[in-house]
Structure 1
């Protein structure tokens, strides 16, 4: 490929641009009125205004984005994550225009993007699945009947959801009745699909995901696991690899199951199988993300691979340049998602970034969506930057992260930087003894 359009914004657009420059590939970006002055716009070879600030009038305009792609004669479209990254119509339309969609096929995306259909497919592949409904639930009566059958607490989820959106824990029937209609409405607004389903809630669980990669030649490999258990409101805050206190036996079984799942659906390009793991290390399929993950840098940190480069080469038809046995992991990597938000209430904190300084440190990567002098607007996810810290051991990585984050300064907006400091000083985290309830029970208790 010689020219790629990036159908995204912020730090992921800038991340993709960096790899494209390394590969000698020209980049085309789109930007909304709110993003005209952001770093990714300045770093691209070509930049075009796509529309007004709201996503419905800019980054979700499929036809307008494809028109730019055709006009600029790009070879491929990289969707990043979020927005149109798992939109089957967009992927199919790009394919029909002879433009490589840098991701899986639209058919695979449709199959695995629907959480209910994906659960059924994983059962066919003999992958353990969290107990839950096998079809979408249309009425509150259906939902209450099923929840009573499997027992509370349960998770009410949007079939087309992701990123923690459209997901509610319900501890009893009253809670389920209260949020059923609003969850369906939110699912329709965010994903264009109001179907919801129910899963059994697994207490004191770890959220472990396996990075996968497939090519057009039938090869599928895993790139080990990431632990994404430090979450707030079902959204990831801190991710790391390797997962602390996950046994080698369980790790191997999870990786094997993930590869089997990917092969079952003929998966191509980067993808992630997400599992929930209970306190006895039983693991269950949650969902498959048919795209690059926000936390892909963690895998890069322990494997030395460039996942974006592999995505581009795979989309162009190249065979994976290694076998499973040739993929090794070394050291430790932890990622922190720096958000413009109140660190306790988790309320977004848009505004002008008056100061944003940090020390250049060996082993620390800053993927920044904004720079000093930019304004964080209320129109998009308030991710300011991803901070990826790599070290020879988990202890060294934590210490390096503690020093780096304590020296960082960001002014003009509130951020969750103080939350990271608290996490890194928590003995439970330092010992690797945490689950998805960690923030609620150990940090904010």
Structure 2
């Protein structure tokens, strides 16, 4: 929730009823915060810090509207620190210098400063480095807030000096509690039946601030009877799902889709596929990722899977959206239900590793061509057995470098078409042993 104040005072304005509902319901103590027990509970790291009287620099990582700013302000209040708020979107090095100088003056007068930086991941490396000396000498206690994964967006040096606290989206139950609190504040019930209330909690999509904004809208309506879910849906636009095509949510959802396919769950795979489409993902990106899954996770257990994905991609290119997306959805189902094998993937990685280790080892001379007399004199091609002339069209010769022991990289699984390939591998190995290869 966006904080309006730059001090550690919990302010109650006399004209409270004219303030936005989200501001009026801002918790006055950490115990009033809804839905973040994993961070604020007595056994949590933050709870233990507060109980022991010490507080270290923190980074709050979580989606919008879950209380990051409010918790930071309450921490300052409970620890008697001056609360100063900055937004990385609107601040730069000059603003940081002013904040640090003011914090030094407070420190000289015996008061510490809790500096809350919203969207801290938007600061570049140099700006993030500027915090370090002031964190180390105690001039500031930094509390950063970010919606992006700190591991990717924040400097290692800054992260090593702060504890990351993960705040989660509010559950439907949490939002129902917040809704009840709003009804008490406004002195009347929402003009919705029970099913419509549940629909409203779901519309907020885990965002407490969004819920309170929706409640304010609804309370302003002049209604003769409570609304049902359909009536509510006509009056309110459902909130767009949180999805950033270049951020964490993008990678989280494609990971969920990939793992659902790998786990042979077509329903979950379709759900994550649909979530990405609803979020505005480019279907061509999904087509490419499906083709990758067919090669990486199904592979030779079902060689047809790759063809299905290629055809689905071609169909999308011919039909476009939305009709072409059905072909991609069918590919999702096919991949999820196909037999799985990563034997080819494992074999490929092992062969690459062996190739890196053996450097420039040449092929054995018997499988090298000898187009010149000199090469023939050097033994090129000598002793080569032409497999088509051998019994079963298999000579059993060794084709590895002479200094490298024969290695089995490819070990097919007993699933799908690879079951047949496993029989072929065993057949040739038996012939190889028989012929001393």
| TM-score bucket of the superposed structures, by smaller chain | under 0.3
Higher-RCO chain (CA-CA 8 Å, sequence separation at least 6): 1
Structure holding more helix per residue: 2
Structure holding more strand per residue: 1
TM-score (norm 1): 0.23
